[in-house]
Amino acid sequence: RKEVEQDPGPFNVPEGATVAFNCTYSNSASQSFFWYRQDCRKEPKLLMSVYSSGNEDGRFTAQLNRASQYISLLIRDSKLSDSATYLCVVYTGGFKTIFGAGTRLFVKA
């Protein structure tokens, strides 16, 4: 089993839709969690950190479920510019940060 697993997609949604991605992790001792965004042929960039209490940044909401060992990302009112690959990132201690393989999102007009 991979340490961090994501549904690769692609998710194809119309503009204005709400879409959610989950990411599961295997190490129960994992401490910090992030979502990164990677545009086609570009480097990954931090989208948001994921806090235990959940957090929201505009149209984006991140949640952590430690009991079930997954994090989620919800995007409301999808825009064309949201089309990208979303990477789940889990910090497990020491230096080790594990990137998921990513979920591809296509938002269509």
CA atoms within 13 A on the CB side of 86: 28
Six token digits for residue 4: 């961090």
Quick one: 40 or 109, whose CB is closer to other proteins? 40
Question: Which x/- pattern over 1-40 shows residues binding other proteins (rule: CB under 8 A)?
Answer: ------------------------------xx-x------
Quick one: 13 or 101, whose CB is closer to other proteins? 101
DSSP 52: T
Q: Which of 12, 16, 42, 77 binds other proteins (CB under 8 A)?
A: 42
Instruction: Give which of 78, 100, 109 is closest to 5, Cα–Cα.
Output: 100
